[in-house]
Amino acid sequence: MPKTVHYNDVESLVGQEIGVSDWVLVDQDRVNKFADATGDHQWIHVDVERAKQFLGGTIAHGYLTLSLIPYLGAQIMALEGVSRGINYGSNKVRFTNMVPVGSRVRARQKLLAVDAKGGGKQLTNEVTIEIEGKDRPACIAETISIVYA
């Protein structure tokens, strides 16, 4: 259940961890569909037999891991009083560990800043994508969105 916060109160969460999402399975079907959508069919992602020989199995695309942030973030925080929101970009993205296909990942989100921007509020979050059973996360991203009342 996401933490519900009103648009007018979001500044009160700056500097805090907002929460953690549920685990989501990164299976071969998801990886294959991402490869088809992006045209990135590198063998480490889609050739199960070859990847078993060299890596122990296929691994998810780094950008697939990054693309899960909106889905996982919606499980962490819901903003009331918002008419729309847009992804504005990222300040920094680092892929710090491979995600073996068959793993489960989740997001941990911390609100770093809220700034006025274009008639709305610019939210800067640090999102860490954790891999179940691993000490080192898959990805750490500083993401930016803009929301409007």
Please, what are the domains in the chain? 3-148 (3.10.129.10)
Q: Is the pTM of this model over 0.85?
A: yes
Helical H segments across the chain, by residue range: 28-38, 43-46, 48-55, 62-67, 69-74
| 97 φ, ψ (degrees, to nearest 5) | -160, 150
pLDDT digits (tens, 9 = 90+) for 23-62: 999 999 999 999 999 999 999 999 999 999 999 999 999 9
Backbone dihedral angles phi then psi of residue 22, each to the nearest 5 degrees: -75, 165
Asked if 2 and 76 touch (Cβ cutoff 8 Å), the reply is yes
Mean pLDDT of the chain: 97
| % the chain with pLDDT above 70 | 100
What's the mean pLDDT in 17-21? 97
Distance CA 123, CA 117 (A): 9
Of the pLDDT bands very low, low, confident and very high (cuts 50, 70, 90), residue 1 is confident
Per-residue pLDDT, 88:
96
